[in-house]
Amino acid sequence: MTETLVDALTAEIARNRELLALYKAIPAGAFGATMIEQDIQAAIAALASGDAIEIMRAHEALKGNE
């Protein structure tokens, strides 16, 4: 099965939401949580815009979060 870029970004958004919950549970995780939340919002905006370049950038940003 071939995964589209939109599918991959959607999966990364879901993974980052789980990661966000972990960061929020850490007393010193506020900065990391804020950064992940911004990346998620940017990814959602990229999907809404339909801009392929922004979708690729958002995907790469989300992939880098650990």
Whether residue 13 has pLDDT greater than 90: yes
pLDDT in tens, 28-65: 999 999 999 999 999 999 999 999 999 999 999 999 99
Q: What is the pTM of this model?
A: 0.91
The rounded distance, in Å, linking the Cα atoms of 27 and 7 is 33
DSSP state of 27: T
Average pLDDT over residues 11-17: 98
**pLDDT bracket for residue 24 (50, 70, 90):** very high
